[in-house]
Structure 1
Amino acid sequence: MAEGEAPGHVAVTGWVNTAAELPGARMLLDAHRDEPALRKAFAKELTALALAAGVPAYHSDLVAQGRRIQDAARESAPSTDVVDLGRASRTGLIARFRSALAA
């Protein structure tokens, strides 16, 4: 973190930069936001964002704070185009993740 930068700004910038570097992975994760099997992982992502932004670890709702930070990051992130990988027969989550990483 550069001197004088607010932790919230650093967390948003980090999320945006990571999403830009791994657009396929981010799109795949976003496409499966409602998957029950991933709820805990997404809650951990939001908690990590909140902590990186300087929200105290004892805050009553770190996940909601993280979601607010993630929403701010999404608003400031450039949009990415969806790429059709042409692998309709491979529809499992892991197969999609592998395909997105390979793109």
Structure 2
Amino acid sequence: MSITVTANDSEHYVVISIMGSFDFSLFNDFRAAYSDLPHAYSRYVIDMSMVEYLDSAALGMLLSMRNAIDATLPIELKGANDFIKNILMISRFDKRFDIQ
């Protein structure tokens, strides 16, 4: 599996780690990673440090996640390489996500 979910219940956050290509093939797994959680968390972190490739479907999946989670809760996109970070910035994802 290219997605792992690590929940920290004591600190109320969850980390969704993506490895390899972040594309349409991960659609169901990515949606399940945040929608099948036992409860809501106060912070969501998408660890993109192992993402090698990102396509427009991945951007759409991130937007779907943003729409599904309370707008007041932060979603951090963390660890993306410079190329992917540039795509996120050009797509203005910095307006809806905390890009680190």
So what's the TM-score if we normalise by structure 1? Answer: 0.28
- When Rg is computed on C-alpha atoms for both structures, the one with the higher figure is 1
Bigger RCO (CA 8 Å, 6+ sep): 1
Greater share of strand: 2
Greater share of helix: 1
